């Protein structure tokens, strides 16, 4: 680590997921190997080939007051809930707003609002639309609302890179602090895309599991029987802070947000480049950015969405970048795939694995695919040994975006 560079630490965590309405309940469910996936009961389910998803365990309408909830898209509701938790978890400090930033994105944005507002507009006309329709559908809405909530004036940003969004947001947040633009940044991702059109569209791309008779068994990263990803929803948001700022206020530090690496495949709009170099290079760049060596990395939270091609390519990429010594988990086996929220919650799981020194097992990994030469956690959670530990969270997105974020113990 170069001496003149600001060290960035993680001082707050917040999440709402298919496994629980907060970080603690989600994390304990992961360690117990529980599934957040269930059969859907909406009317539109009859019209699509996929009939299950990871619905948020706690409906945001139960958490937010009605006047607030009705002005927010569901993705914004998740983001605001997770951001409030993260800020409380960080001690809700009194800080200079000009030194506080927000980076919270979504893969798709307010798609639920777009679709229902379009129906309302067609049926009843323009003047029946809520005056909040635009801020509900815009993908930067969550960042804007959180900045208002916290008085964050150092800049509110919304990175958009499909399923890499949450991880990219955290990387951008690290850079904001390192470059001197902020002392603290609230960063992560959110998504609320469980709607017939999205399910139909992903199914049209032949990307989703259709294991309708066993929804809890459908998300099975690295397993021979995997047949596609399982859609989830929710948000994961962290509080990033310069170490100096965190120490000065006596904050509890979970981990060091050591660096991020990015590549773009420039190959195919939805498929990973089969040589996996984009993922490999993203991890290597994250390590370089963090001044770490591959041998330092003891754990990887894989992107691993349970698609037939993607998981194998990523396994090779991890082997090429890190080697075969790191303990690899794939938490989408329990949460489903939160798209823009994935990098947020999975960064939190990576941070907690380091902080608690335990890695959740991959659910539904009954029969690992042939040719996978990395150390997958099966059966029971695995302990992490040692003092100075590093871990990586991978997030890859449609568009060819590859993001790896490196964390270390304090």
Q: Which residues bind another protein (CB under 8 A)?
A: 65-68, 70, 127-132
In order of 156, 177, 300, 303, 378, the CA distances from 346 in angstroms are 22, 21, 10, 8, 18
3-state secondary structure of 361: coil
Residue closer to another protein, measured from CB, 136 or 342: 136
Least gap, CB of 123 to another protein (angstroms): 12
- C-alpha span between 146 and 131 (Å, rounded): 19
Nearer to another protein, 68 or 273 (CB): 68
Q: How many residues does the chain have?
A: 410
Smallest separation, CB 65 to another protein (Å): 6
Q: CB of residue 116 vs another protein: minimum separation in angstroms?
A: 14
Residues noted as catalytic = 163
Q: Identify which of 393, 406, 352, 362 has the alpha carbon closest to the alpha carbon of residue 163.
A: 393
Distant-in-sequence, close-in-space partners of 221: CB < 8 Å, separation ≥ 6: 302, 304, 305, 306, 311, 330, 332, 333, 362, 365
Minimum CB separation of residue 69 from another protein in Å reads 11
Q: Find out whether 78 and 56 touch, Cβ atoms under 8 Å.
A: yes
Measured from the CB atom, is 129 or 410 closer to another protein?
129
Q: Which of 125, 102, 132 is nearest to 12 (CA)?
A: 102
- Residue 13: name the closest of 241, 210, 224 by CA: 241
Q: Which of 141, 188, 144 is nearest to 169 (CA)?
A: 188
Q: C-beta of 340: minimal distance to another protein in Å? A: 27
* Min separation Cβ 127 and another protein, Å: 7
Question: How far is residue 34's CA from residue 49's CA, in Å, rounded to a whole number?
Answer: 25
Task: Name beta bridge partners: 393.
Answer: 301, 405
CA distance 282 to 172: 15
């Amino acid at each position: 680590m170069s001496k003149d560079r600001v060290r960035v630490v993680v001082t707050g965590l917040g999440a709402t997921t298919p496994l629980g309405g907060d970080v603690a309940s989600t994390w304990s469910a992961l360690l117990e190997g529980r599934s957040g996936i269930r059969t859907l009961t909406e009317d539109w389910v009859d019209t699509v080939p996929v009939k299950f998803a990871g619905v948020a365990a706690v409906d945001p309408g139960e958490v937010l007051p009605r006047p607030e909830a009705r002005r927010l898209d569901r993705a914004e509701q998740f983001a605001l809930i997770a951001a409030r938790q993260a800020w409380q978890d960080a001690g809700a400090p009194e800080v200079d707003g000009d030194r506080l930033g927000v980076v919270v994105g979504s893969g798709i944005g307010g798609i639920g609002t777009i679709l229902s507002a379009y129906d309302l507009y067609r049926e009843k006309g323009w003047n029946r639309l809520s005056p909040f329709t635009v801020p509900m559908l815009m993908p930067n809405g969550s960042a804007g609302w959180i900045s208002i909530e916290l008085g964050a004036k150092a800049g509110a940003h919304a990175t958009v890179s499909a399923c890499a969004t949450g991880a990219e947001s955290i990387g951008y947040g690290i850079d904001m602090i390192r470059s001197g633009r902020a002392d603290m940044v609230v960063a992560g991702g959110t998504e609320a895309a469980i709607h017939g059109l999205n399910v139909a569209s992903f199914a049209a791309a032949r990307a989703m599991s259709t294991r309708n008779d066993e929804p809890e068994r459908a998300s099975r990263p690295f397993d021979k029987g995997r047949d596609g990803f399982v859609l989830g929803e929710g948000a994961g948001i962290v509080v990033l802070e310069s170490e100096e700022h965190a120490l000065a206020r006596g904050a509890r530090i979970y981990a060091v947000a050591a660096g991020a690496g990015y590549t773009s495949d420039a190959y195919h709009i939805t498929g990973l480049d089969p040589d996996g170099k984009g993922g490999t290079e993203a991890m290597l760049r994250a390590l370089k950015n963090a001044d770490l060596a591959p041998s330092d990395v003891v754990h990887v939270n894989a992107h691993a969405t349970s698609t037939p091609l993607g998981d194998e390519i990523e396994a090779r990429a991890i082997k090429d970048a890190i080697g075969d010594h790191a303990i690899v988990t794939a938490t989408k086996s329990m949460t489903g795939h939160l798209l823009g929220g994935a990098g947020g919650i999975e960064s939190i799981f990576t941070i907690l694995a380091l902080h608690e020194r335990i890695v959740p097992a991959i659910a539904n990994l009954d029969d690992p695919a042939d040719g996978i030469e990395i150390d997958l956690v099966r059966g029971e959670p695995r302990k992490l040994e040692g003092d100075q530990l590093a871990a990586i969270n991978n997030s890859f997105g449609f568009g060819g975006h590859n993001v790896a974020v490196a964390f270390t113990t304090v």
